Structure 1
Amino acid sequence: MKVLVLSQHYWPETFRINEVVESLQQAGCSVSVLTGQPNYPDGAIFPDYRAMGMGPQLHEAGYMIYRVPVSPRRQGRAMQLISNYLSFLVSASLVGPWLLRGQHFDVIFVYGISPILQAIPGVVLKRFKRAALVTWVQDLWPQSLQATGFVRDRRILALVGGVVRWIYRHSDLLLVQSRGFVSVVQAMASKTPIEYHPNPGELAFGQALPAGAPAFRLDPGFNVVFAGNMGTVQALDTLLQAAELLLPHLNVRLVLVGSGSRSEWLRQQIAQRGLLNVHLPGRFEPEDMPGILAQASALLVSLTSGPILSQTVPSKVQAYLAAGRPIIASLDGEGARVVEEAGAGLACPAEDAPALAQVILRLRAMPEAELKRMGDSGRRYYQQHFEPTMLAKRLVQHFEKLVRR
């Protein structure tokens, strides 16, 4: 089966779709990728690439990547982000068909992270290639725009909602990364079929830990590790408030691994509040993360409160389950449900700093055998629900059924 993956972001940028493509290859698919010029997260075009560059690139794994021009994100201000999104939309719609001329595909597979508008080139390519269009919805639009406060104008939200309906209804199959998405997407999708297909875990977590010292060594004590993006919806202020409450407990610390739009704000706040129990070691490569997470006393996932975010399962939940360490879920809804259903840790309401501090202290007081039981339970749940090879085979089954139909 020939599959074209459409994603604004792709290798050497670090996104889960990179490993999904590898898994699809291993499952027997012939895969090509249409993407932009790499510039995430820092906003500068990567070395050896050009913003206005276009053309094919052979990946070391043997498949072709076709790149179209983009306007880089730069410092991530609103107009720069809009320019970045629109440039890919236009380039992929106009240049993409030319780069892919003469090629046949059975399925066009859109990796629908924000903004979902990047699926528009998928609708265009569907017409050129007479292929089935599958859109994998990773975020709810326009609901997320409203929930984050990025857009408040009701007219703009209504316009975006109309475009999203058009995308959903021109797709042949919609996959959603959370069961909580189903009803929201169904209300906008009319008769387009919808299936639940979660994000898989990272391939690195299915391998043995690398020999030698980890990329970052945690200090002795009860280390609560948060890993991943540090943005507006991760409720970082709640984490800092909890850290203030935990200052009297000298052996408890929060280790925030990663980067994002609020990294500098975090550094300033930690210094201003005198939070000696919060560490910011920076960002590490995906292959380094299993070795770092394996040292944690507990792993922390957090989101702000709100009906839309409560329907989301942060992708780090899969990595945490695979790491086999107890999980603290400072969030509402579907993400907390997964952690509790797995028996992998404890949950508390989103943006409730006192409750978060209490959960951390509860875990610290537990016997090591109970913490190990939580970690083992989480790893078993991961193997049953999020293991990459299993999910890749299921994805191929979706494709085959759709093409036959």
Structure 2
Amino acid sequence: MNILIITQYFYPENFKSNDLAFELKNRGHDVTVLTGIPNYPEGEIFEGYGFFKNRKQVVNGVKVIRSLLLPRGKGGGLRLFANYYSFAFFASIKAFFLGLNNSFDSIIVHEPSPITQYYPALLINKLWKTPVYFWVMDLWPESLSIAGGVKNKFVLNYYTKVIKSFYKNSEKILITSKGFRGAINKKGDFNNKIVYFPNWAEDSISEGNKDFPIPPLPDGFKVMFAGNIGEAQDLDNIMMAALQLTENKNIKFILVGDGRKMPFVRDFVQNHKLDDTVSIMGRFPVEAMSSFFDKADVMLVTLKDDPIFNLTVPAKLQAYMSASKPVVAMLNGEGAENIIDADCGFTVAAGDYSSLAKTILAASQLSNIELQQMGNNSRKYYEDNFKMSSCISNLEKIISKKS
């Protein structure tokens, strides 16, 4: 098939769109990615890229077309708005010419947020009737209201109408969490379009080099959080749990990643003198994750207590499971249910930092054999439910209309 993937985020940024494009190419498909100039998460354009540099590339056999956009900067509201809509505008211009010169069999819109990434696909769909497969990883306008703090009813109603039109024009709506089905159907009768399409873990994590060079980690019982450090991940309550465990010097919190909440984390650690028990490692390439995960005793996954997040399964959960690690979770909903079903760790209610602290303390007292069995259960659940090869095979059936 001749496939166009539209996403604001692509290699060298670290998103599932990378796996999707490269794996489809490996399977013999002709894959083109329409994306932006890489600037996530720091908000600055990556070295080696620019408005006049590397706008067209071939990466692992995938044709990459990079649209202009205004970098997200520090991530303030107006700057994010400009970032989202500048990509949508310039990518739509690129999409018009791509549609003129190519006959795509299908378009996949990868939408971790924002939904404005759909506009270029909508243009091609309207002009050339190319079917669009909308991979929904973030619910709008719910996410805009909760994670973005937008409360204006006019704005929320506007985006409700926008997302309804996107759903209406989609051939299929691919959802990463089964809980999304109800929220989407509240906006219209889209049930026949909805297909469950879960996240997976990158092969470089599950099968990667455990000897990849990383900085030394502290001795002790290592509780590792890896990934985006943002509002949704509830770092406030992670830090409160760390504060409660201050006297237990053997328990070490290790944060691998970066995001908008990192200044808060650094200030909290400094103000509460948690340097001995909280290690901030920063952001590393995905190739380093296998080495980091291998040295952790348990992996930590958290989400704020909010209806939209209760419908979400964090992508990091699949990564943790693929790496055969026990999981400690402070979240509600489907993600917690997965951990319980897999019997691969511990769950406490979202926002309950006191229970999180007690649970981590209890986990630190388990034997290596008990922890290893939980890790084995993690891997088995991943193999049965979230392996990339199975997910992409299912996607091939969907977009070839054989499902």
TM-score (norm 1): 0.95
Deviation at 1:145, TM superposition (A): 1.4
Counterpart in the other structure of 2:236: 237
How far apart are the structure 1 equivalents of 2:246 and 2:284? 27
1:107-142 deviation digits (Å, cap 9, x = unpaired): 100001111121121111123333211000000100
1:305-325 deviation digits (Å, cap 9, x = unpaired): 011100001110011001111
How far apart are the structure 1 equivalents of 2:270 and 2:55? 46
How far apart are the structure 2 equivalents of 1:285 and 1:95? 29
Deviation at 1:149, TM superposition (A): 4.8
* 2:33 partner amino acid: V
* 2:234 partner amino acid: A
Segment drifting more, 38-47 vs 280-289: 38-47
Segment drifting more, 181-190 vs 358-367: 181-190
Deviation at 1:390, TM superposition (A): 1.2
Segment drifting more, 295-304 vs 43-52: 43-52
1:347-375 deviation digits (Å, cap 9, x = unpaired): 00111111000110111122221111100
Deviation at 1:208, TM superposition (A): 4.8
Mapped pair 1:225 → 2:235 = no
Counterpart in the other structure of 1:168: 167
Q: Is the Cα contact below 8 Å between 2:212 and 2:287 reproduced in 1?
A: no
Q: Is the Cα contact below 8 Å between 2:42 and 2:73 reproduced in 1?
A: yes
The 5-angstrom pairing of residues 345-364 of structure 1 reads 345-364=345-364
Counterpart in the other structure of 1:71: 70
Counterpart in the other structure of 1:373: 373
Q: Is the Cα contact below 8 Å between 2:208 and 2:290 reproduced in 1?
A: no
How far apart are the structure 2 equivalents of 1:228 and 1:394? 26
Q: Is the Cα contact below 8 Å between 2:22 and 2:62 reproduced in 1?
A: no
How far apart are the structure 2 equivalents of 1:53 and 1:249? 51
Counterpart in the other structure of 1:291: 291
Mapped pair 1:186 → 2:203 = no
* 2:338 partner amino acid: V
SS of the equivalent of 2:33 reads strand
Q: Is the Cα contact below 8 Å between 1:328 and 1:347 reproduced in 2?
A: yes
The 5-angstrom pairing of residues 253-402 of structure 1 reads 253-275=252-274, 276-401=276-401
Structure 1 unaligned regions, length at least 5: none
How far apart are the structure 1 equivalents of 2:295 and 2:315? 20
Counterpart in the other structure of 1:56: 56
1:205-226 deviation digits (Å, cap 9, x = unpaired): 342534x464133222101000
SS of the equivalent of 1:324 reads coil
How far apart are the structure 2 equivalents of 1:55 and 1:376? 44
SS of the equivalent of 2:400 reads helix
Q: Is the Cα contact below 8 Å between 2:41 and 2:259 reproduced in 1?
A: yes
How far apart are the structure 2 equivalents of 1:17 and 1:339? 25
How far apart are the structure 2 equivalents of 1:48 and 1:239? 36
Q: Structure 1 residues 209, 45: CA separation in 2 closer, same or farther (over 3 Å shift)?
A: closer
Q: Structure 1 residues 399, 357: CA separation in 2 closer, same or farther (over 3 Å shift)?
A: same
Q: Is the Cα contact below 8 Å between 1:329 and 1:347 reproduced in 2?
A: yes
Counterpart in the other structure of 2:143: 144
Q: Is the Cα contact below 8 Å between 2:139 and 2:180 reproduced in 1?
A: yes
Q: Is the Cα contact below 8 Å between 1:344 and 1:375 reproduced in 2?
A: yes
How far apart are the structure 2 equivalents of 1:147 and 1:357? 26
RMSD value, Cα: 1.6
* 2:228 partner amino acid: N
Counterpart in the other structure of 1:47: 47
How far apart are the structure 2 equivalents of 1:102 and 1:149? 38
Q: Is the Cα contact below 8 Å between 1:68 and 1:96 reproduced in 2?
A: no
How far apart are the structure 1 equivalents of 2:101 and 2:144? 38
Deviation at 1:96, TM superposition (A): 2.0
Mapped pair 1:118 → 2:111 = no
Q: Structure 1 residues 43, 149: CA separation in 2 closer, same or farther (over 3 Å shift)?
A: closer
How far apart are the structure 2 equivalents of 1:239 and 1:386? 27
Identity fraction in percent = 34
Deviation at 1:184, TM superposition (A): 0.8
How far apart are the structure 2 equivalents of 1:68 and 1:90? 9
Q: Is the Cα contact below 8 Å between 1:2 and 1:106 reproduced in 2?
A: yes
Deviation at 1:56, TM superposition (A): 2.9
SS of the equivalent of 2:68 reads coil
Deviation at 1:203, TM superposition (A): 1.5
How far apart are the structure 1 equivalents of 2:398 and 2:313? 21
Aligned residues: 401
Deviation at 1:232, TM superposition (A): 0.9
Counterpart in the other structure of 2:248: 249
* 1:329 partner amino acid: A
* 2:284 partner amino acid: F
How far apart are the structure 2 equivalents of 1:147 and 1:44? 25
Deviation at 1:54, TM superposition (A): 8.5
Deviation at 1:62, TM superposition (A): 1.5
How far apart are the structure 1 equivalents of 2:330 and 2:106? 38
Deviation at 1:166, TM superposition (A): 0.6
How far apart are the structure 1 equivalents of 2:272 and 2:302? 21
How far apart are the structure 2 equivalents of 1:259 and 1:16? 17
Structure 2 unaligned regions, length at least 5: none
